[in-house]
Homo-oligomer: A and B are copies of this chain.
Amino acid sequence: MQTDDTILSIAEAEELIADVLRASGAAEAAARSVARALVAAEADGQAGHGFSRIAAYAAQVRSGKVDGHATPVVAARRGGMIAIDAASGFAYPAIDLAIEELARLVPETGLAGAAIRRSHHCGQLGAHVERLASRGLVALMVANAPKAIAPWGGSAALFGTNPIAFAAPRARGEPLVIDLSLSKVARGKVMAAAKAGQQIPEGWALDREGRPTTDPRAALEGTMIPMGDAKGAALALIVEILSATLTGANHSFEASSFFDAEGPPPGVGQLILAFDPGVTAPDFCDRIEVLLGAILAQDGTRLPGTRRLAARERARSEGLRMPAHLMAEIAQLRAG
């Protein structure tokens, strides 16, 4: 099977995906932005936010669930805070706009925030905040997503896996990037166990009555357990309010699926904050090296993102592997 796979350079993969999206009816700018984000996630070893999304994205443009011609706009602003309307298009063009605006604002405002509404799946959050850290800023991002986690004590999904990402510049090397979702494990692991006919460990998920389960099929009908149990559910609520209530987006329990092409747009939200460390800590980049050095001085530790950077390096030198079944799907999608 491996022999049928195609090896693509990063540029080739971007071109191919942009092509599929254009063929599905997306405008040039949106197609390019989405292609860049999916390829970056795939290169970073985040397969769940990479090539695996192409077909679903294309189908949603075709059905109109995603407006492939939407142009994100700054809908309101005051000082360092802006509201961005993603206009029911893809998330990535809105995030691109947010990053440009934040980087432009911060030299004036010290701290700036972008609240994105009417948005969609935002993929690998770490990659977005990393772009701000590459410009010398400290960045924090939260997002909501279709419901997957129950409120603590409850049994029905209400919060998304509501990820948190953070990035900071360093004196040496690439920015530090931390990216985590608030479910104990990714739902993809439960799907994989269901496919393989295997049990899942207790503590991953609840069935639809809110009882712990080791049956992956019962788990898929139920909810994912938050990391840190009750405290994690409280964090999911914080992220829900910051990324949806505060942005004017749909709450997770109001949002349609990121995967199928049916129904109204998901309309989820994202909040991105950027700090210029020069205002409060001119020696930030030296001090973070002291902190990270103290971590690495302990045996058995590593910094977040180590595997991601290694995967990226490999992708740049060896290219990306597009499985044969996806390549066939893409050929069909390009043909229209």
Contact = CB atoms under 8 A, between A and B. Distances in A.
Interface of A: 76-83, 108-113, 115, 117, 138, 140, 150-156, 158, 164, 166, 168, 176, 178, 180, 182, 184, 210, 227-229, 231-232, 234-235, 237-238, 240-242, 244-248, 251, 253, 273, 275-277, 279-281, 283-284, 287-288, 290-291, 294-295, 298-302, 304
Contacts of A76: 279-280
B246 A281 contact: yes
Contact of A234 (B117, B140, B152, B304): B304
Given A276-B81, A288-B241, A253 B294 contact: yes
| Interface SS, A side | mixed
Contacts of A301: 151-154
B109 A79 contact: yes
Contacts of A235: 164, 180, 235
Given A78-B110, A245-B277, A248-B287, 17 more contacts: A79-B111, A83-B279, A111-B112, A111-B273, A113-B275, A115-B280, A151-B295, A154-B301, A156-B298, A158-B294, A158-B298, A166-B242, A210-B300, A237-B304, A247-B280, A248-B281, A251-B294
Contact of A77 (B275, B279, B298): B279
A207 to B, nearest CB: 14
Contacts of A79: 79-80, 108-111
Contact of A138 (B227, B242, B279): B242
